[in-house]
Structure 1
Amino acid sequence: MDSLITAAAHALASGDPLGALKRVALRDDAPALALRGIAMAQLGEFDRSKLLLRSAARAFGPKEAVARARCVVAEAEIALVSRDLGWPVKALDIARVTLEEHGDRVNAAHARNLKARRLLLIGRLDEAERTLAEFDPTHFPPALRAAHELVVTGLAIRRLRTKTARAALARAEHDARDAGIPALMAEVESATLVLATPAARLIAHDEERLLPLEEVETLLASKTLVVDACRHVVRGASLTVSLATRPVLFALARTLGEAWPKDVARDTLIARAFRTTFSDESHRARLRVEIGRLRAELRMLAGVSATRRGFKLVALNAREIVVLAPPVEERHAALLALLADGESWSSSALALALGTSQRTVQRALDSLAATGKVQSFGRGRARRWLTPPVPGFPTTLLLPAPLAGD
């Protein structure tokens, strides 16, 4: 590898894309094209970077399988950062195997880390954990160790394991300092802010208060019966009943939980569960049926007793009953939560992450755009969605090693 390629690769590894471009901007050989592609990606020019990386992959000869595999890994990272979640994951797996077979452990580990990040992003936590468990980052460069610990942090947050998340975050902060990459340190700082941000809202005894993640974890580990409106389940000390596919039953459970230990009038239950302001005898008959179904679902956790004016929840083995709700509730809260990461998403990627149809997501985006809560750019399949920009740090690509030859 010549001196300019080596210098450009070192500049990229230290988070200096402009320094890298100064050295290879006028060259069109395969290593220079690959490095220019990474540099453009770090500067946010994703479309241009993908073209450069594909050109580099074609320019590398048939004997340069490692270099081509590194180009694939770089393109996979661009797809992840630009939220192109439909990018073929199989190509990343093939590239990882190639890198492992040729002894490039660092870039192979980076490919595995990218796969885990994608799985985390679309909510496939078990698969992400299995992917991470297959390698030990101890002997890898600081930037790769920090990226690995950030994925561990994300998994721990989703699993409500705050001690694990804080420990991983501390390791990530230490590794990010060792790497000396400002964007990586900013990403660690952003993850730290997530832990300090209210994660849910506690509703009990006609009062509400915001809870950080640690208090949510403590609450769910206690003997309190929790009607969890974040995941649409009812949680006891040793049993969880899911009502995610029973919206009427969950609406009844939540309404009764918010009123506990008081009862709730029949008309109020009808309005909340059936979404109507009008009630007659047919609604009351349906209410009795649905209350019977709810009673059967919760029989191991709580009872549902009839009162003179309505119904109330009766705790069986719990000291009290509370409701845990999202910090902010609105119709498209889950969609806004994904867009809050500051990246631009396609509607197909949002649909994949939410587990719903692209058409449903598109309707929701149009509704949010009409109120100014999201905005889009591009047309057709290149259209991307994001929340209105706010001051903050950009996310930068962090390849652990140069793409060009060794």
Structure 2
Amino acid sequence: MDSLITAAARALAAGDPLGALNQVALRDDAPALALRGIAMAQLDDFARAKALLRSAARAFGPRETVARARCVVAEAEIALASRDLGWSPKSLDAARAVLEARGDQVNAAHAQNIGIRRLLLLGQLEDVEHALAGINSTFYPPALKAAHELVLAGVAIRRLRTEAARAALIRAERDAQLAGIPALMAEVESAAVILGTPAARLLKNGTERLLLLKDVAALLESDALVVDACRHAIRGADTVVSLARRPVLFTLARLLGEAWPEDVSRDTLIARAFRTKFIDDSHRVRLRVEIGRLRKLLRTLTDVRATKRGFALVPRHAEEIVVLARPVEEKHGAVLALLADGASWSSSALALATGASQRSVQRALESLADADKVQSFGRGRTRRWMLPPVPGFTTILLLPASLPGS
């Protein structure tokens, strides 16, 4: 490796893409192309970065398997950072196997981390936890340790284990400081903000209160019967009844939960659950049917008792019933929640992460764009969506610092 390549690699490792480009911007050999690709990725020009890395992979000879594998790893992380989540992990797994076989354990571990971060973005927590179980991060360099701790924190946050998340973020901050990469330190700081940001609203007896993540965890461990409007489920003691695929039943449950211990009139239930302004006998018959279904599903948690004017919840074991709602409820809240990480997402990636069809996500994005709540750039397959610029940090790229070879 010549001195210019070495200097460029060190500049990238320190988070200085412009310094790296000063060394190799005019060179077209394979190592220089790879480094230029990483530099462009760190400057958020993902399209140019992908093109340079693919050129580098072709320029490396067939015997330079390690260098080609590192290009695949770098390209996978660019896809992750640009929220292009539709790629198959098979090529990344193959590259990781090559790196492990050739003794490049650090970049192999980095490839594994990229695959895990993709699963985390897609919400596949069981797969993430299974992958993390076999990892020994003691030999990782500081930057990779910080990335690993960020994944652990992400899982803990999604599992509402706030103390574990806080501990992982403290370790991530320490490792990021040791790595000395400003953008990595910013990402850790951005992740830590989540613990101090309202995560939900508590609706109880006609009042509402914002809850932090730790408050949500405490509520779900309490003896209260919780109508969870964040996940569309009813939670009590050790029982969780999901109504995610039963929107009418959940609407009824939420209305009754918000009114507890009072009842809700039949006309109100019909108007809100069936979304109609004109009520006739057919609606009343349908309400009786849906209430019967709800009563059957919730029979171990609460009774749905008829009153003179409507219905009311009567918990069997819990002392109170509360509703847990999102901090800000939007029609397309799931899409906005994903875009809130500051990164730019493709509509296909948003569809994968939300479990909705791509066309439904595109309609949601168009509606949000009309309301000036999101913005896009690019066209066709390169089109990306993000929230309008606000104070905060974008997701940092944790690319292999020694891509050209060591």
Whether TM exceeds 0.5 here: the answer is yes
Q: TM-score, normalised by structure 1?
A: 0.98
Q: How does 1:254-403 map to 2 (within 5 A)?
A: 254-403=254-403
Give the distance between the partners of 1:161 and 1:174, measured in 2 at CA.
20
Give the distance between the partners of 2:74 and 2:368, measured in 1 at CA.
33
Q: How does 1:83-232 map to 2 (within 5 A)?
A: 83-232=83-232
Q: Give per-residue Cα distances to partners, 1:117-169, cap 9 Å, x unaligned.
A: 10010111111112222221122100000011111111111111111100100
Q: Give per-residue Cα distances to partners, 1:68-122, cap 9 Å, x unaligned.
A: 0000000000000011111231110100111111111100000010011100101
Letter in 1 for 2:362: Q
Give the distance between the partners of 1:259 and 1:281, measured in 2 at CA.
24
- Residue of structure 2 equivalent to 1:61: 61
Asked if the contact 1:377–1:383 (Cα under 8 Å) also holds between the matched residues in 2, the reply is yes
SS at match of 2:226: strand
Cα deviation, residue 191, structure 1: 0.5
SS at match of 1:135: coil
Cα deviation, residue 400, structure 1: 4.2
Asked if the contact 1:8–1:20 (Cα under 8 Å) also holds between the matched residues in 2, the reply is yes
Letter in 2 for 1:151: V
Give the distance between the partners of 1:225 and 1:195, measured in 2 at CA.
24
Asked if the contact 1:204–1:258 (Cα under 8 Å) also holds between the matched residues in 2, the reply is yes
Give the distance between the partners of 2:164 and 2:393, measured in 1 at CA.
25
Cα deviation, residue 342, structure 1: 1.6
SS at match of 1:234: strand
**Is residue 2:239 matched to residue 1:239?**
yes
Q: Which moved more, 1:108-117 or 1:132-141?
A: 132-141
Give the distance between the partners of 2:316 and 2:30, measured in 1 at CA.
69
Give the distance between the partners of 1:297 and 1:346, measured in 2 at CA.
38
Cα deviation, residue 396, structure 1: 3.1
Q: Structure 2: give runs of 5+ residues left out of the alignment.
A: none
Letter in 1 for 2:146: A
Q: TM-score, normalised by structure 2?
A: 0.98
Asked if the contact 1:143–1:400 (Cα under 8 Å) also holds between the matched residues in 2, the reply is no
SS at match of 1:123: coil
Asked if the contact 2:74–2:400 (Cα under 8 Å) also holds between the matched residues in 1, the reply is no
Cα deviation, residue 395, structure 1: 3.2
SS at match of 2:208: strand
SS at match of 1:345: coil
Give the distance between the partners of 2:335 and 2:6, measured in 1 at CA.
43
- Residue of structure 2 equivalent to 1:11: 11
Q: Percent of counterpart pairs with the same letter? A: 73
Q: Give per-residue Cα distances to partners, 1:193-236, cap 9 Å, x unaligned.
A: 11111111100011001100000000001111001010111001
Asked if the contact 2:70–2:400 (Cα under 8 Å) also holds between the matched residues in 1, the reply is no
SS at match of 1:251: helix
SS at match of 2:203: strand
Q: Which moved more, 1:216-225 or 1:396-405?
A: 396-405
